[in-house]
Amino acid sequence: MVVVVSRARAWSVAAALLLGAAAPSALAQQSPVTERAPSESNSTLAASRIRDGDVLMRERRYREAAFAFLDASHADAGHVEARFKLGNALAVLGYYGQAIEQWEAAARLTTDTAIRQSAQDNVARAKVKQAQSGSSPLAAGLPPGSGPVAEPTRVQARKAYEMGVQRIGERDFAGALQSLTQAVQLEPMLAVAYTARGSANIGLRRYPEAAADYQYALRLEPDSASPLYGLAESYRAMGRNAEARSLYERYAASTAADVRPPLQAESRQKAERLR
C-alpha cells in the first residue's frame, strides 16, 4: 500500500522527534517544492543544497546540515522547504530561538495551510524546550560549542588549524579541508579556522560551502576583515555581483587588525569592475 503524506509532515520529522512529539508512523519524502519562482540557477542551487542537507541529517551531521540548508535559503530566500528544514536542523542542535525564526518565516511564506500549521506546532514545542533550557548558552542564543574548551583540546585544535593553513599554502585543498574541519570540531568558536576553511573550499571550487564558512566566521568575529574578502570572492564566483561589490568595498574601507593593504587595493579594483 502506498502512503501519501503532506510535505508539512515529511519535513517536520526531525523536529518532531527532537521536540518530543510523536513521529508519524509512515512518511513519504516528496520532491522539493518552492513557493515562488526564483532564477533557474538559484533554484538549482537551493535544491542541490537541500538534498545535501537531507543526507547530512540522516547521517546525524546536524551542524553541517544546518549550513547546507542555510546555503539553500541564501540561494532562494523564499524557499519554504529550505526555511523549514533549516529550522529542523537548528532545533536538533538546541538552537531553539533561531529555529523558531525559520519556522515562522516558512509559515509567512507559504499558502499551504498544512505546512503553516506544522510550522506553528513546531514553534510551540520549541518554545517549551527553550523555556526548559533555562539560562544555558543555547537558550541565550549562543552557537553550539560556545562553552569552555579544555586546554589539551585547544592545543589540538590549533595544531589542526596550523596544518590546514600549511596545506592551503601547498595547494593541498582537500587535505586542508580535512584538517580545518577537525579544528572546528575540536574548537567550534575558532573563527580563524572557519575563515581558513572557506579558503580551502574556494580552492576546491565549493563556493556555497566557502560562503557559509566565511559567514559563520563573521558571526563569531564581526569586526574581522579577512572573512569579508573571502565572502566577496565566493559571491563573485557564484554570480552574486552586487553583494560581492559591497563586500569588496567594506574590505577596502576596513581598519581591522587583520586587513592587508595589497588586498585592499585589489578589492577597490574588483569593486569598480563590478559596477
Asked if the structure places residue 1 within a domain, the reply is no
Q: What angle do CA 243, 245, 247 make, to 5 degrees?
A: 70
Lowest average pLDDT, out of 112-121, 134-143, 206-215, goes to 134-143
The string of pLDDT tens digits covering residues 49-75 is 999 999 999 998 888 888 889 888 877
What is residue 104's predicted lDDT score, i.e. its pLDDT? 93
What is residue 220's predicted lDDT score, i.e. its pLDDT? 87
Q: Name the residue among 63, 84, 64, 82 with its Cα closest to residue 72.
A: 82
Is the same domain home to 192 and 125?
A: no
What is residue 133's predicted lDDT score, i.e. its pLDDT? 58
Exposed, middle or buried: residue 145 (CB in 10 Å: 0-12, 13-18, 19+)?
middle
The string of pLDDT tens digits covering residues 18-30 is 444 433 322 223 3
Is the same domain home to 160 and 256?
A: yes
CA–CA gap between residue 68 and residue 245 (Å, rounded): 24
CATH code, 69: 1.25.40.10
Is the same domain home to 175 and 79?
A: no
Domain span at residue 59 reads: 7-132
Q: How many domains does the chain have?
A: 2
In the chain, which ranges are continuous DSSP H helix?
A: 7-11, 13-19, 40-58, 62-75, 80-92, 96-109, 113-132, 151-169, 173-186, 191-203, 207-220, 226-237, 241-253, 261-273
Asked if the structure places residue 84 within a domain, the reply is yes
pLDDT band at 108 (very low <50, low <70, confident <90, very high): very high
**Which pTM was predicted?**
0.56
Asked if the structure places residue 14 within a domain, the reply is yes
As a whole number, mean pLDDT of residues 31-56 equals 69
Is the same domain home to 96 and 191?
A: no
The dihedral built from the CA positions of residue 84, 8, 48 and 34, taken in this order, carries a sign that is: negative
Asked if the structure places residue 24 within a domain, the reply is yes
Asked if the structure places residue 142 within a domain, the reply is no
DSSP class of residue 142 equals: P
